[in-house]
Structure 1
Amino acid sequence: MSERTAAAGGGLLRRIGLVQATALNMSQMVGIGPFITIPLMVAAFGGPQAIIGWIAGALLALCDGLVWAELGAAMPGAGGTYVYLREAFQYRSGKLMPFLFVWTAILFIPLTMSTGVVGLVQYLGYLWPTMGKGTGDIVGLVLIVLVVLLLWRKVDFVAKLSTVLWGVMLVAAALVMVAAYTHFHPGLAFTYPHGAFNLFGAKFWGAFGAGLAVGVYDYLGYNTAAYLGSELKQPGRTLPRATVGAVIGVMAIYLLLQIGVLGAVDWHRMLDPNSAVYQSMASVVLEQAWGRGPADVVTSLILITAFASVFAGLLGGSRVPFDAARDGVFFRSFARLHPRHGFPTAGLITMGVITAIGFMIGRHTDMGTLIQLLTTVMVLVQTLSQVVALVVLRRRQPTLRRPYRMWLYPVPAVLTFVGWAYMYVVADHNAPGRHPIEWSLAWVALGALSFLVWARKEKGWPFGEKQVEERYLTAQTEAAEAAQAAGTAEAAEGA
């Protein structure tokens, strides 16, 4: 589809290439995450064996990334998971699952962004030690408004800016690693406490559950480009490469960073939540290696990295309700595009507001609680349902063109399902007294009730007939028939 045709039809334009898509994914994946969660991981495991959490998180992210890659390459539409659930679950439950996904995504995507803002303000405290709690709250809210204003632009401008911020992120991570490895002590990184790898002890598996949640949180974002499927150039090639490449690249960065930091700082200092190492670990590593001045400079780069993460996440997230609203599966106001710049306005504003609310919750509780809340809400209607959608679509639409097919299917899909299910089951244990499982179930139940009210008004299933529309399969068939007709006409003309 040409840009002129897309614009005339009210759709989104394909302007994002492989480098920009990979940059969006990696910017969202790295962000502030590892700089604030390495102490959380060490505290969960009780020593340098925390590396297990990063490896497990990487493997789960890679397996889940393969699910995203196959589905996204076959069905490159705005909204990502919404499109996949719409196509897979329409046969039995009508529009219920895509509605529930958008309902939950409007919550968990901005909650993820809010953790980035919490971390940004936390690191800003290293440069601004007299900043009080109230001042930090104001700074974070102002930064969220700034992100929304910067995204109030054409997508090609946004993609170019994301690529620049991606470069800053790589520089920041590289400098922290150089500082760590130039002052590396193997005895710190590879001396483990007694019983660290006791696989038969309940303590190990309790730590593993908490560590896996932190690790997966840090890898979240490998699917950002999938939310922009209708804006990708050659999505069948771009999306799988951007997804898998981002996971592998960030996996290497995280493992090198984790090992380097553990070799530069005594991990016992990370167990105190009030210590400088716990609050701004990377800045302490840099100050020990090169002094306060260079530490301040690189801390500034880390702040830019955190900003880039929130920027990329809200860019992708704002597109999620757009396609659903255009299909009449969500509130109609989310289908509106900016008359001049052509981006979804309601999605961007809504997620900006919820990001601000999540930021305030994180500032006045703790980061661990925020992580557990967003992951439990996400698991039920995105990750687990998406694995089921992959299997259903292979059976229901076997002739659908799949530019990328999952390697070693169904092994990665099974591992993905088991890994996310385990994280969900242990969520209450990892956040005692916060009840993330109960909150997630309540939110989904409220979404189901909202769906029933909406369906009754629209006279859809279960108050009317299911409408089965195999859109991508139909479009594929029509394109093949058109090509065949064109070839027949050309042959007749030649004769």
Structure 2
Amino acid sequence: MTATKDPAFTPTRSLKGSLGVTAIVLMVVAAAAPLTVVGGAAPLGILLGNGVGFPSLYAISAVVLLLFSVGLAAMTRHVPKPGAFFTFVGYGLGKPAGLATAFLALLTYTAIQISVHGYVGYILSVTVTGLGGPDIPWYFYSLIVVAIVGFLGFRHIDLSSKVLGVLLIGEVGIVLVLVGAVMMSGGAEGLSLAPFEPTNVFSGAPGVGLMFAIAAFIGFEATAIFRDEAKDPSRTIPRATYVAVIGIGVFYTFASWGIVMAWGPDNVVGVAADDPGAMILVTTAKYLGAVGEIIINVLLITSMFACVLSFHNVITRYQHSMSNAGVLPGSLGRVHPKHLSPHTSSVVQTITAGILIVLFAVLGLDPVLQVFTWFAGVSTLAIALLMAVTSVAVIVYFAQTRLDRRPWNTIIAPALGLLGLVGSAVIILVNFPLLVGDVDADGAPAFGLVSSILIGLIVLFPLFGLVQAQVLKRRKPAVYEHITEAISESSEAAAPVAPVA
């Protein structure tokens, strides 16, 4: 049956725009922070994960997420609503599941944004002090970045996409130049495919390495969130999703392979162990000289800025969609008459980020070892769970509606992606304590207070959504009926099958 309009449900103003494939890809790839991943996560993956074989995990993760993307793209064509996970799970598995997913998504994107805010504050503090400037605590720099991001997020999305585009080109360009220099020199021990040999792929702790690999892709799935601001949603969103995941996968695999070749399979783990945080700078200094090292240090900062700006845009649009569905305050659904942005949602997100940074400063948390590492771990596990649930929703939705009868798009690819995501989530959960330093006397992962609290957040947020759904069903049935109906102009043009009750 088709969705019906309820006079008691009045949609708020919708977002508008003309973003093409390139603009959307730039925003979601910027969220993945390519240089931050290559310079920060890759050395840790090499050191703590499977060593020389770590680049292969990017390729494996890309295949799993590409399979997931097939179902995501199919849903985008048949459910013309913004909201991504929130809406798709609601249509496939029912309104309570959709609302639970929405709150878990908010936790995911807020956690990754806050983690990077801590890291960029630390990097700015160290950089300024190293140049002879005043020794100012990291959180002051983090708050300055929060304010700048808030200003850009308040304005039209086109401004953010242009800023992100410039920053992204710079950081991707310097990495490609670095890898090119490594290839031209032949590397430290000659060029080889050692990172992809089975003995290296399964060496060390591949489960830990997989955590870092999957975390590097967080953000690519957000293409569907920009549906209302896309030029031609039914074509733009699927294409942008495929381009994003394939592009990210190829780039990370190639770049991390280049780092291994720069030091050689026999030496790369030792170099990473010396100082994983400075590995990319040392590698650049070796192959591109002092000037290259300065350039990449600056671009590392801008990479983190691009990341938090992109996730700010994602979170504000999630809040906007949830507001339009009636599950968050109506003011969050307002659209600025001039900038056509969800400006109120942007202001709320800016205030939220600022409050959390102040809270972490008061608690005395380390910006890298605690703020960055802890909350990046939360977002990594949460995103794997989100995508796994969405894969189930895709399969159920098309089995019930029969709107798309292509087996590969609606059953096979989503099922294969689901298997990969569930396996990844289990591996991440088992190794999660390592991210926060909770280990037993033998150094094995053991859930302690910190890791239990962080895992508790992943349980608490969706539980809140389930409870709210039941409350709405009893007290506000009109709102409950439209939980997944994140109204937009594009949704008015079609009448998809109503979501599961």
Q: Match of 1:23?
A: 26
Q: Match of 1:178?
A: 180
Q: Aligned to 2:24, what secondary structure does the other structure show?
A: helix
What CA distance in whole angstroms lies between the structure 2 residues aligned with 1:392 and 1:147?
A: 39
For the pair 1:445 / 2:443, whether they are aligned, the reply is no
Preserved contact between residue 384 and residue 422 of structure 2 (Cα < 8 Å): no
What CA distance in whole angstroms lies between the structure 2 residues aligned with 1:212 and 1:295?
A: 28
Q: How much does 1:474 deviate?
A: 9.5
For the pair 1:414 / 2:418, whether they are aligned, the reply is yes
Q: How much does 1:258 deviate?
A: 0.9
Q: Aligned to 1:16, what secondary structure does the other structure show?
A: coil
- Pairing of 1:93-172 with structure 2 (within 5 A): 95-121=95-121, 123-124=123-124, 125=126, 128-129=129-130, 135-172=137-174
How many residue pairs get aligned? The number is 457
2:395 is aligned with what amino acid?
V
Moved more, 326-335 or 208-217: 326-335
Preserved contact between residue 118 and residue 363 of structure 1 (Cα < 8 Å): yes
Q: How much does 1:247 deviate?
A: 1.6
Q: How much does 1:56 deviate?
A: 2.4
Q: Do the aligned partners of residues 442 and 114 (structure 1) sit closer, same or farther apart at CA in structure 2, a change above 3 Å counting? A: closer
- Pairing of 1:324-343 with structure 2 (within 5 A): 324-343=322-341
Residues 157-191 of structure 1: CA deviation (Å, up to 9, x unaligned) = 33333333332233232233234334442538769
Q: Do the aligned partners of residues 261 and 39 (structure 1) sit closer, same or farther apart at CA in structure 2, a change above 3 Å counting? A: same
Preserved contact between residue 36 and residue 119 of structure 1 (Cα < 8 Å): no
Q: Aligned to 1:228, what secondary structure does the other structure show?
A: helix
Moved more, 158-167 or 287-296: 158-167
What CA distance in whole angstroms lies between the structure 1 residues aligned with 2:346 and 2:493?
A: 30
For the pair 1:82 / 2:86, whether they are aligned, the reply is yes
Residues 118-170 of structure 1: CA deviation (Å, up to 9, x unaligned) = 44445543575267985333212211211111121112333333333332233
Q: Which structure exhibits the higher relative contact order, with contacts defined as CA atoms closer than 8 Å and separated by 6 or more residues?
A: 2
Q: How much does 1:71 deviate?
A: 2.0
CA RMSD of aligned residues (A): 3.7
Residues 454-491 of structure 1: CA deviation (Å, up to 9, x unaligned) = 74366359x99973899799964599xxxxxxxxxxxx
For the pair 1:267 / 2:268, whether they are aligned, the reply is yes
Q: How much does 1:64 deviate?
A: 2.5
Normalised by the length of structure 2, the TM-score is 0.79
Q: Do the aligned partners of residues 291 and 227 (structure 1) sit closer, same or farther apart at CA in structure 2, a change above 3 Å counting? A: same
Preserved contact between residue 333 and residue 346 of structure 1 (Cα < 8 Å): yes
What CA distance in whole angstroms lies between the structure 2 residues aligned with 1:247 and 1:260?
A: 20
Q: Do the aligned partners of residues 82 and 352 (structure 1) sit closer, same or farther apart at CA in structure 2, a change above 3 Å counting? A: same
Q: Match of 1:247?
A: 245
Q: Do the aligned partners of residues 74 and 249 (structure 1) sit closer, same or farther apart at CA in structure 2, a change above 3 Å counting? A: same
What CA distance in whole angstroms lies between the structure 1 residues aligned with 2:218 and 2:453?
A: 23
What CA distance in whole angstroms lies between the structure 2 residues aligned with 1:428 and 1:294?
A: 35
Preserved contact between residue 321 and residue 334 of structure 1 (Cα < 8 Å): yes
Q: How much does 1:399 deviate?
A: 2.4
Q: Match of 1:492?
A: none
Q: Match of 2:378?
A: 373
Residues 270-328 of structure 1: CA deviation (Å, up to 9, x unaligned) = 443xx5x4223222222112322232123223322222222122112210121121111
Unaligned runs of 5+ in 2: 1-10, 439-447
Q: Match of 2:345?
A: 347
Residues 174-226 of structure 1: CA deviation (Å, up to 9, x unaligned) = 23323433444253876979x99289x9x74xx11111110011111212221
Q: Aligned to 2:291, what secondary structure does the other structure show?
A: helix
Q: In structure 2, which of residues 467, 477, 481 is the aligned counterpart of residue 467 of structure 1?
A: 481
Report % sequence identity.
Answer: 17
For the pair 1:39 / 2:51, whether they are aligned, the reply is no
Q: Do the aligned partners of residues 427 and 374 (structure 1) sit closer, same or farther apart at CA in structure 2, a change above 3 Å counting? A: farther
Unaligned runs of 5+ in 1: 1-7, 480-495
Q: Do the aligned partners of residues 216 and 226 (structure 1) sit closer, same or farther apart at CA in structure 2, a change above 3 Å counting? A: same
Q: Match of 1:237?
A: 235
Q: In structure 1, which of residues 253, 256, 266 is the aligned counterpart of residue 254 of structure 2?
A: 256
Preserved contact between residue 15 and residue 335 of structure 2 (Cα < 8 Å): no
Normalised by the length of structure 1, the TM-score is 0.80
Q: Match of 2:430?
A: 426
1:430 is aligned with what amino acid?
L
2:32 is aligned with what amino acid?
M
Q: Match of 2:394?
A: 390
Q: Aligned to 1:284, what secondary structure does the other structure show?
A: helix
What CA distance in whole angstroms lies between the structure 2 residues aligned with 1:60 and 1:464?
A: 39
